[in-house]
Amino acid sequence: MASNHIVSSSQSALNSHSSSPSPTSLQPSTYREYEPEEIDWDNLGFKVMPTDYMFIAKSCLDGNFEAGQLNPFGNIQLSPSAGILNYGQGLIEGTKAYRREDGRIYVFRPQDSAIRMQIGAERLCMPFPSVDQFVDAVKQTALANKRWIPPAGKGSLYIRPLLMGSGAVLGVAPAPEYTFLVYSCPVGIYLKDGTGALSLYVEEEFHRSALGGAGGIKSITNYAPVMKAMRNAKGKGFTDVLYLDSVNNKYIEEASSSNIFLVKGKVISTPKANGTILEGVTKKSVIDIAHDLGYQVEERMIEAEELITADEVFCTGTALGVAAVGSVTYKGKRIEYKISSETISQQLNSRLVGIQRGTIEDKRNWIVEVK
């Protein structure tokens, strides 16, 4: 069977290019339903909203990746035997681009997402783009879709890099060809009700991951299995699920797509990553910010019973940001936490957002300018 190619719905198979064409030389996608001028930025929400361009690069025979190029946003074609379709050989990442008051555009910690993708790729026997290739692709995608970046303070451009086994394979084995793709969508507040407060249900039947598995990487295979537990929880009025460890069923790990923190006094605790918990970029950022603000941070095993005595609970993630938890339901008991502008989570969120938007100095080179 011939090796397949991923292409835009408006193009034939892609050819290798040493450099990406300028967006002005391409015809923007007609896939979308409306233009940026028609968007109500104050009520943007978090949903798929097709933009103009996406970036695509393919692996070469030596396992490295070609330079890649921008293409009009659109559907892609895959062989029915593609590794990602048959065996889930794929990874996702996420970062955001922000527009500042002066109009300049910045991306938050794309190099960390690149490194995390490399770690995941090694686990799934996939070649991967270099950090420079990854960051350049993210910047190209943001710049090509800059008219979709919300005004300062109104939201961000969510950027989704994908690495997938696009080559045809029948037996359980690594695909012969790989595609690195980056697309983007303008987004606002992640939570539909806009309050920023989560209500979590502690799941005791289903587990997100197990020791020795792939829970510590951002594999696409980690997300479909949580959907049933999420559906059940949301059917009961909860926002999300908080998972326990699969060995003892008593230590908290993380929510469906975010890390969790508990606060007791001046001490902030978060589950220690041991291969079953994703090392969140926002989580790492919040830990550094907490140290800057004088808080003690512990990464350790946390029993679910500690939720009962915690002063405060919050979650972190690229899509979510820093979100306070209003309540956690465990073993039929609802535990409620105070929500106010003076909580530690709000202090951390304010500092993080300030760094992302440029109102607070970035002392760790987290911010990368797109120009």
Q: Which two tokens stand for residue 254?
A: 């993380």
| Position 365, amino acid | N
Q: What are the DSSP E strand ranges found in the chain?
A: 53-58, 69-72, 90-92, 95-99, 105-108, 156-165, 178-187, 197-203, 240-244, 252-255, 259-264, 267-271, 296-300, 312-317, 321-330, 333-336, 367-370
- The catalytic residue among 96, 146, 218, 283 is 218
To the query of whether residue 264 is one of the catalytic residues in this protein, the response is no
DSSP state letters, 242-265: EEEPTTTS-BEEEESSSEEEEEET
Q: Which among 76, 88, 73, 81 has a CA at the least distance from the CA of 6? A: 76
What CA–CA distances, in Å, run from 7 to 4, 26, 160, 179?
A: 10, 14, 17, 10
Q: Mark out the alpha helices in 217-365 (DSSP H runs).
A: 227-235, 281-292, 344-357
Q: How far is CA 131 from the centre of its chain?
A: 17
In whole angstroms, what is the distance from residue 283 CA to residue 287 CA? Answer: 6
Q: Which among 31, 84, 78 has a CA at the least distance from the CA of 53? A: 31
In whole angstroms, what is the distance from residue 127 CA to residue 109 CA? Answer: 22
In whole angstroms, what is the distance from residue 63 CA to residue 128 CA? Answer: 8
What CA–CA distances, in Å, run from 38 to 32, 41, 155?
A: 12, 9, 15
In whole angstroms, what is the distance from residue 320 CA to residue 79 CA? Answer: 34
123 within 8 A of 112, measured Cβ to Cβ: no
Active site residues: 218
